[in-house]
Structure 1
């Protein structure tokens, strides 16, 4: 079977099939529209000597960094969240930091992985986007084939050990009615960042321009009749890694998330 036929035959709803396709290089796109019945997460891997501090930092900042799982030093599997997972190969994109500086963005992080690295999986807004759509919230960025934009705010996170830094948020442009519905739905799911941290007031977060997004990507346009709605974002962890200046840290690359086997929870109507 050629690559095109193999991709066409791929069950995009099956998390294990998607992880294998990513590992094999058959799927290289964003993960926001695949395995939508299952939880996705941010990856942050730090040396074991810093792992307890990072876990404490995440627990001190649960809106941005809701913990889904913690792995064992050097191990690339995480049986508690996924079967047949190779966390150094299965997101399809990685960011490698040394002494706080981004030094590589490989598709496969195996060459950088060390026996003392401890992986963490952090809740992701891709999970609550599926819940929002189930509740009838229109997500225009998905209709346009894009992802949500992210922004660095002026709000400081609660520091722990070497970890600290500014809060990162993600933004979705919603009508007022959808903003209310999205707030009610997301508030029920603290494992995926919970309720928004701000509605309609980017200046409240120190965001001077929606055009100036974190990483330069994402849907930044807010149309007449829409509000920018901001949620805490797992990319906050990248700021914390830069501040900590660890000798090595590895995260996922933007919009290439850890696909877990955890089923997305059912949501009750408001």
Structure 2
């Protein structure tokens, strides 16, 4: 058991680790403010973007034009912090372990609660997360290095440009998992079944071909060890909107901190397309 998984088990208890509602309660009470990889493994986790209504239409089109990195799971009503399709008690103001508060494209704070920032004109978008297909990879016998090392997954900005919608454009962000060749082939088969949480990889092998110069220095998350017999496998990542937000420089925006997701009541196996 890794140090981080041992810490999580000590906080939630063995059974509590699998209980999405309990994990959200602990997050709501600021008793857990770290990344959510490995928590409530059966449940869908989501990336979060919160924008003023005036920009919501542009962002919705951005997601529709870029479904690989921005697969939409839910959109809230204007000014409503609830997301009833994702969980009866979900409150987006308190149920993410760590948020990012942006002003004019600059990160100004990383709070654990955004009730003081909430406005009546805000719209919440929840996007699929690769943490959801990790359960299927583990069930297929594919070991995941960041989990075994107790780290957040490694994430990188690439030279792959997303399709523009209104003010939103920018580079695709990818998450990386090192795998042996046979496991990489199996991972393509497994994750292809989950288009609502990024689906199949977008690149395998030489990172320089997608503009990544140093795997040991991820733009988000933590670096992980890569063995000589392993290849890096890259999936589109729901942190992509944060790169677009930094470029668009909206007056106000809130996102999740990379790796600190909204845990929903949806089940991962219900997202499988076949």
What is the rounded CA distance, in whole Å, between the counterparts of 2:139 and 2:12 in structure 1?
26
1:251 aligned onto 2:251:
no
Find the aligned partners of 1:244 and 1:206 in 2 and give their Cα distance.
21
| Change over 3 Å in CA distance of 1:136–1:241 after alignment to 2 | same
TM-score in terms of structure 2 length = 0.92
Equivalent in 211, 214, 217 of residue 212 of structure 1: 217
Match of 1:236 among 222, 236, 240: 240
Separation of aligned partners in 1, 2:17 and 2:225: 29
1:133-144 aligned at under 5 Å gives the runs 133-144=138-149
Give the TM-score normalised by structure 1.
Answer: 0.94
Runs of 4+ in 1 over 6 A off after TM superposition: none
> Within 2, Cα distance between the matches of 1:121 and 1:89?
14
* Structure 1 unmatched runs, 5+: none
Tell me which residue corresponds to 1:194.
Answer: 199
Query: Deviation per CA, 1:209-264, whole angstroms, max 9, x where unpaired?
Result: 1122113x323431110100000101100011112211111000121101111111
Taking structure 1 as reference, are residues 224 and 183 closer, same or farther at Cα in structure 2, changes over 3 Å only?
A: same
Which residue, out of 22, 32, 35, partners 1:27?
A: 32
The SS at the match of 2:187 is helix
Mapped to 2, the partners of 1:97 and 1:214 lie a distance apart of 17
What is the deviation of 1:133?
A: 0.5
Q: Which residue of 2 aligns with 1:53?
A: 58
C-alpha change, 1:222 and 1:111, in structure 2 (3 Å) is: same
**Residue 113 of structure 1: CA displacement?**
1.6
Q: Residues 266 and 136 of structure 1: is their aligned pair in 2 closer, same or farther, counting only changes over 3 Å? A: farther
RMSD: 1.8
Q: Any stretches of 5+ residues in structure 2 without a counterpart?
A: 1-8
Paired position in structure 2 for 1:13:
18
Q: C-alpha displacement at 1:5, in angstroms?
A: 8.0
